[in-house]
Amino acid sequence: MVSCPICGKRVRDNLINQHIDSDCSSGIESDPPPSTAPIFRTPAPKREPFFASSQPFSTAPETPTNSKKRPSEAEERDGVAIKQNGIQADTHPPQPKKIKTNAFEKAAPLAERMRPKSLDEVCGQDLVGPNGVLRGLIEADRVPSMILWGHAGTGKTTIARLVANQVNARFVEINSTSSGVAECKKIFAEAKAELGLTGRKTIIFCDEIHRFSKSQQDVFLGPVEAGHVTLIGATTENPSFKVQNALLSRCRTFTLSKLIDADVTTILERALEQSKETYNPDTTLVNTELLNYLASFSDGDARTALNLLELAMELSTRPNMDLNNLKSSLTKTLVYDRAGDQHYDTISAFHKSVRGSNPDAALYYLARMIQSGEDALYIARRMVVMASEDIGLADNTMLSLATATYSACEKIGLPECRINLAHCAVALCQAPKSTRAYRGLGNAMSALREPGIAGLPIPIHLRNAPTRMMKEMGYGKEYKYNPNYVDGKVKQDYLPEKLIGRTFLEDRDLGTEIDPDLGEEVVQNEDDEEEEAKTVVKGEPVADASVPDPVDEKHFQMQQSTKHIAVDDRSRADGDTESPEPKLPAEEEVGDKDDTEDEEDQALPLSSQTEPPAEWQ
Binding region for ligand ATP (CB under 6 A): 111-112, 114-116, 122-125, 150, 152-158, 207, 234, 236, 259, 267, 302-303, 306
State how far the Cα of 387 lies from the Cα of 355, in Å rounded to an integer. Answer: 10
CA distance 459 to 474: 11
Instruction: Report in angstroms how near the CB of residue 162 gets to ligand ATP at its nearest.
Output: 9
DSSP structure class, residue 518: G
Q: What is the DSSP string of 120-158?
A: GG--S-GGGSTT-HHHHHHHTT-PPPEEEE--TTSSHHH
Distance, C-alpha 392 to centroid of its chain? 31
* CB 416, min distance to ligand ATP, A: 31
Rounded to whole angstroms, the Cα distance separating 156 from 259 reads 12
3-class DSSP state of 424:
helix
Q: How far is the CB of 114 from ligand ATP (least distance, A)?
A: 4
CA distance 294 to 297: 5
Q: Name which of 134 and 379 has its Cβ closer to ligand ATP.
A: 134
Given a contact cutoff of 8 angstroms between Cβ atoms, the answer to whether 119 and 128 are in contact is yes
Minimum separation from the CB atom of position 168 to ligand ATP (A): 20
At its nearest, how many Å lie between ligand ATP and the CB of residue 307? 9
Decide the pairing of beta strands 252-255 and 50-51. Answer: unpaired
Distance CA 409, CA 369 (A): 15
Question: Minimal distance in Å, beta carbon 166 to ligand ATP?
Answer: 15
Round the CA-based radius of gyration of the chain to a whole number and report it. 34
Shortest CB 589 distance to ligand ATP, Å: 36
Instruction: State the number of CA atoms in the 13 A half-sphere of 226 facing the CB.
Output: 14
Nearer CB in complex with ligand ATP: 260/523: 260
Provide, rounded to whole angstroms, the least separation between the CB of residue 147 and ligand ATP.
12
Nearest distance from C-beta of residue 430 to ligand ATP, angstroms: 39
Contact 429, 472 (CB under 8 A): no
Helix (H) or strand (E) holding 175: strand 170-175
CA distances for 534 relative to 98, 396, 521, 522, angstroms:
74, 30, 9, 6
Closest CB to ligand ATP among 114 and 376? 114
Task: Provide the pairing of β-strand 230-235 with 202-207.
Answer: parallel
Query: In whole angstroms, how close is the CB of 337 to ligand ATP at the nearest point?
Result: 15
Nearer of residues 125 and 265 to ligand ATP, judged by Cβ: 125
**With respect to ligand ATP, which residue has the nearer C-beta, 341 or 569?**
341
Q: Which is nearer to ligand ATP, 114 or 219 (CB)?
A: 114
Task: Please provide the size of the chain in residues.
Answer: 617
- Of residues 261 and 509, the one with the C-beta less far from ligand ATP: 261
In this complex, which beta carbon is closest to ligand ATP, that of residue 330 or of residue 386? 330
| Cα distance between residue 371 and residue 530, in whole Å | 47
Q: How far is the CB of 374 from ligand ATP (least distance, A)?
A: 18
- Cis before 415 (ω within 30): yes
Question: What is the Cα 571 distance to its own chain's centre?
Answer: 16
Burial class of residue 255, CB neighbours in 10 A (0-12, 13-18, 19+): middle
In the complex with ligand ATP, the residue whose CB is nearer, 241 or 350, is 241
- Min dist CB 248 to ligand ATP, Å, is 18
Q: Which is closer to ligand ATP, CB of 27 or CB of 116?
A: 116
Residue whose CB is less far from ligand ATP, 248 or 302: 302
Q: Which residue number is nearest to ligand ATP in terms of Cβ?
A: 155
Alpha carbons 101 and 98: distance in angstroms, whole number = 10
Q: Which residue, 312 or 565, has its beta carbon nearer to ligand ATP?
A: 312
Alpha helices in 37-98 (DSSP H): 64-67, 73-77
